[in-house]
Structures are given as C-alpha cells and as structure tokens.
Structure 1
Amino acid sequence: MSAADWGIIMLLSLLWGGAFFMIELGLRGFPPNTLVFLRLALAVPPMLLILRIMGHRMPRDGKSWGQFFVLGAINAAFPFILFFWGQTHIESGLASILNATTPLWGVVTAHFLTRDEKATPARIVGVLLGLAGIVVMVGTDALGGLSGSVLAQLACLAATLLYALAAVYGRTLSQSTMTPLVVATGQVTTAALIMLPVMLLAEQPWNLPAAGWDAWAGAAGLAIPSTAIAYFFYFRLIDSAGASNAMLVAFIMPVIAVIVGVVALGETVEPKELAGAALIALGLLAMDGRLLPKFSASASA
C-alpha cells in the first residue's frame, strides 16, 4: 500500500474510533433511536453534495432503491440502534472492542453464504481467538445472569453480525455499475427513512427536554466526520488498496476509542477487557495471515 493509503487508514481509525466518544456525548441529550436518526439524517445532505461535486447521480429505478433499503437496514439502522442502546449500559471503549469482532463474523458468514470465500485454517484460528476474547470479556459477567451489561454486550455483538451479513449482501451491489459512493449514499438515505417512524413511535421526541450543546455536538460529530466524510474515504481506500487492506482499520480503531474514552470521559479499562482485546487483535492478525503465514500460503496454493 502507498503512504496515502496508510494515511487514510489512520484517518478512518480516528474518525470511527472517535465515534464511540461522540455517541457518549449524544446520549447525554438524546435517547438512542433519536440519536441514530440524527446521525443518518444529518449525514445525507453532505453526502449528496459530495456526489454532485464528483459528478455522480443517484439511480431512479425501484430495484436499486430496494437494495439500498436492505443494506440500510442491516448495515446502518439496526446495528446503530443496537450499538447506541448498548452504550447506555457499557463504556465506549468496551463497545469499540466488541465492534472489532466484525471481521471475525465476516469469515463465518462468508464461508456459509458464498462460494468463493471459504474459511482457511488461518481464518479459523483467527475466529477461535476472537471468540476466546469475547468469552474473556463477557463470560464471567454472564455467569451472574443476563444483567444490563451482558445484554448490552450481546447487543453490540449482534450488531457486528449484522455488519458481516451486510458485507456479504453488499457484494451484489459492488458487482453492479453503481459506484461505492452512490451505494453508501443510498444506504444512509434509506436508513434515515427507516429510522424516522422508529424514532417517532418509540421515543416521541417532541416530548423530550431540549438537548444541550454537547449532545448536539455529538450528533453532528457522528453525522459529518464519522459518517459522511468517513464513508467517502473508506470507499476511496477500497478502490485504491482493496477490501482486505481496508479491514486493517479494525486493528487500530479500538485503541483510539479506548484512549479517547479514558482521557475525555474518565472511563476505566478493566484487565479482562485488555486481555479480551489482545485475543481479538491476535485473531485479526491471524486472519490477515501475519501470525500463520504458512497456513495462509498453503490455503491459497
């Protein structure tokens, strides 16, 4: 990869790692579903502006928008609901660590739902290491019953599974004539439309007290840097470096999120969370072929 690609990886790690801090700010003034809607709705205008500047146009056929609707549901609206609700019970650093399991579930879903992305020995080892990391972080709490913390962690894990399913489904769109930025804009637009009735029915925002500036700053930070700008650079990275290299963002993002949580929010990191994060990181490295190069080489031969 070029120096520019590595620069984009670091930028995305900051934008998405910092998103968990923005969620904490936003939840100070908005309930989860309202914050999800604001993140998506506020991101649509700048994404449409970027499309216009780059000379792209959104499709007008029903089939494309139906695909956007499915992708918006499983890759934005529903996982955002799960993560935002989860962060009302767990700290941002732990949520970011759980988010890093997305590539692990990607291996599992791709193995069973595709014909050309079967699991290699190195990837299987990576999944097992990642699952061990999850058990270390969640397992002892689960022994005491399904407390709010355990349910929140399970919600975050369910969200990462949805992300993995979305990646498999998204292959059908990546093989079309639509550019990645068009797909991203369609996804965010339909996700905002999905969240509008959910927000209105579940939380009746007109009855909520006025949110403070910090909550609005969190919502704006989620919408502009962490959604509109991040998607632009993410799909540019995929175009220049490939999807597998773009996955390297998952290595760095939790580190950024934990540091921001400790410094800006005064959060604490428990030893079991560090141990679990280390196992998940080892799992990602194994999947990337850096820990088990012989297995990776033999699998691709």
Structure 2
Amino acid sequence: MAVSDWALLVLLSVVWGGSFLFVGIAVKELPPLTIVALRVVLAAIVLRLVLAVMGMGLPRERSVWLAFLGMGILNNAIPFTLIVWGQSHIASGLASILNATTPLFTVVVAHALTTDERLTGQRMAGVVVGFAGVALMIGATAFEVRDASIPAQVAVLGAALSYAFAGVFGRRFKAMGLAPLPTAAGQVTASSVLLLPLALLVDRPWSLPLPSAGALLSVAGLALLSTAFAYILFFRLLARAGATNVGLVTFLIPVSAILFGGLILGERLELRHFAGMGLIGAGLILIDGRLLSGLRASRLSSSA
C-alpha cells in the first residue's frame, strides 16, 4: 500500500476504535437500544445526504431492500446492541479486543457456508490460537456464575460472530451490481426502520432523564464519525487497497480503543487481557498468511 493508504488505514482504526470510547461514555446515561437506534438513524441521514451530493440514489427493488434488511440485522442491529450492552459491564478496551475475533469467526463461518473460502491447516491453526487468546482473557472467572462480566464478554463475542455472518451475507451485493456506498446507506436505513420503533417501545426515551452534553456528543460522534464517516473511509480504502489490506484494520482498532479507554475513561486492563490480545493477533497473522509467506520467500532467496 502507498503511504496515503496506510494513513487512511490508521485513521479508520482510530475512528472505529473511538466507537468504543463513545459507547463507554453514552452507556452510563442512555439505554443500549436508544444508543443503537440513534447511531443508525443519524448515520443513515448523513449517508443519504452524501449520496444526494454525489448524485447517487438507492435502488427500489424489493429483493434488494430485503437484502439490505438482512445486512442491517446482521451488521448493525445485532452487533451494535450486543456491544453496547456488553460495554455496560466491561471496559471499552476489553470489548475492542474481543471484537477483534471477528476474522476468526469469519474463517469458520465462510468455511461452513461457502465453497470458495475453505479452511486450510494454517488457517485452522490461526483459529485455534486466536480462540485460546479469548479463553485466556475471559479466564477462570467464567466458572463463577456471579461474575457479571462473563455474559458481557460473551455478548461482545456474539457481536463478532454476527459480523462474521454479515461478511458472508454481504457477498451477495457484489453479485447484485450494487456500489459499496449505496449498500452502506441502504443497510443503515433498513436497520433504522427496525430499531427506531423498537427503541421507542422498549426504552420510552421521552421518559428518561435528560442526558448530559457529554452523552449526547458521544452519541453524535458514534453516529457521525464511527459509522457514517467510517463507512466513507472504509469504502474509499477498499477501492484503493483491496479487501485483504483493509482487513489489517482489525489489528489496530484495539490499540486505539485501549488508549482512549485508559487516557479518557481511566480504564485499566489486566496482564491476561494483553496476553490474550497477543494470541488473537498471532491467530490473525496465521489466518492472513502474508507475513509467513514473506518470511518463507526471504529465506528461500537468501539460501539460493
């Protein structure tokens, strides 16, 4: 990748890492469904405005909107809600590390549901090493029923699994001939239609105490920066550097999330959390394969 591509990748990791900070602030005053509904509704408005400025529109076919709804459920409604609820019990940095298991789940889901993305021995080793990191982070407290952090950690892992299914489900949009930006706008629009009435019914936000300016600004940052702006960055980088290179953002998101959580929220992670993150990173390196391939090529060239 060019230097400018790396700059975009780092910026994207900071923007997505910041989502855990925004959630960590907002969840202290607002219920999860309200946060998620505001996130997708505001992001949908912004992305629709971007489409209008670019002279682009959304398709009207029923089959496409059903696909948008499915993607909105798997890529927005389920994972956003699980992460926000999880962060009401665990630190934002830990949530970001657990969320980094998404590629591990994706390898397994793709193997089960597709014919062209099969598990190899090296990828399987990466999955095993990565999930060993997850087990290390959760630790022996998983056997203590009274520990409220365990369901929260499982919820964030559930979000990562939902993202994995979304990755496989989203392959159909390329076959439909849809551009990435309308796909992003379509999915957040569909999830908005689903989540807004649900949040109004369950949370009755008009009956809640008025949130502070910090909470409102965090929700705005979550929607405008970590969702709408992040999608624009993501699809621009996707077009310039390709899907494999964009996947490197997974390595960087926990770094910025942990820094934000420590510097701004005063969170502290234990040694086992960092050790678990190291194992997850090692698993992702095995799954990605490029580093090992480069090392093998270097050895062959040096011995020739």
TM-score category (smaller protein)? over 0.9
Give, in angstroms, the shift of residue 4 of structure 1. 2.1
User: Alpha-carbon deviation of 1:146?
Assistant: 6.0
- For the residue of structure 1 that corresponds to 2:88, the secondary structure is coil
Tell me if the contact between 1:33 and 1:81 (Cα under 8 Å) persists in the aligned partners: yes
Q: 2:208 aligned with 1:194, yes or no? A: no
Amino acid at match of 2:183: V
Contact 1:69 1:191 in 2 (8 A): yes
Cα displacement (A) at 1:193: 1.2
What is the deviation of 1:31?
0.7
Q: Does 1:269 align with 2:269?
A: yes
- Tell me which residue corresponds to 1:210: 210
- TM-score normalised according to structure 2 size: 0.94
Aligned to 2:260: 260
Separation (CA, whole Å) in 2 of partners of 1:243 and 1:290: 14
Is residue 28–residue 88 contact of structure 2 (8 Å, CA) maintained in 1? no
Pair 1:15 & 2:15 matched: yes
Q: Which residue of 1 aligns with 2:233?
A: 233
- 1:120, 1:296 within 8 Å by CA — same for their partners in 2? no
Quote the residue 2:300 is aligned against. Answer: none
Task: Give the match's secondary structure for 1:115.
Answer: coil
The aligned counterpart of 1:53 is 53
Q: How far did 1:139 drift?
A: 3.1
Aligned residues: 297
- Whether the 8 Å contact between 1:92 and 1:258 is mirrored in structure 2 is yes
Does the 8 A contact of 1:75 with 1:162 survive in 2?
yes
Unaligned runs of 5+ residues in structure 2 are: 298-304
Q: Deviations over 1:125-158 (max 9, x none)?
A: 1111110000001131102126320000000001
Deviation at 1:294, TM superposition (A): 8.7
1:157 matched residue in structure 2? 157
Give the alignment of 1:279-290 within 5 angstroms. 279-290=279-290
For 1:53 and 1:207, the matched residues in 2 are separated by 37
In 2, are the aligned partners of 1:121 and 1:296 still within 8 Å (CA)? no
Q: Which moved more, 1:262-271 or 1:48-57?
A: 48-57
Which amino acid in 2 is paired with 1:114? T
Structure 1 residue 248 corresponds to structure 2 residue 248: yes
CA distance in 2, matches of 1:290, 1:143: 38
Letter in 2 for 1:174: K
Taking the aligned partners of 2:55 and 2:283, their CA distance within structure 1 comes to 41
- 2:177 corresponding residue in structure 1: 177
- 2:302: which partner in 1? none
Range that drifts further, 202-211 or 92-101:
202-211
Cα distance per residue 1:164-185 (max 9 Å; x no partner): 0000000011222210000000
1:99-146 per-residue CA deviation (whole Å, 9 max, x = no partner) reads: 100011010001110010111222111111110000001131102126
- Cα offsets for 1:61-111 (capped at 9, x unmatched): 111111000000010011111000000000000000001000110100011
Percent identical: 46
Deviation at 1:55, TM superposition (A): 2.2
Does the 8 A contact of 2:23 with 2:218 survive in 1? yes
> 1:132 corresponds to which residue?
132
Conserved in 2, the CA contact under 8 Å of 1:5 and 1:241?
A: yes
CA drift of 1:291 comes to 5.1
CA shift, 1:7, in A, is 1.4
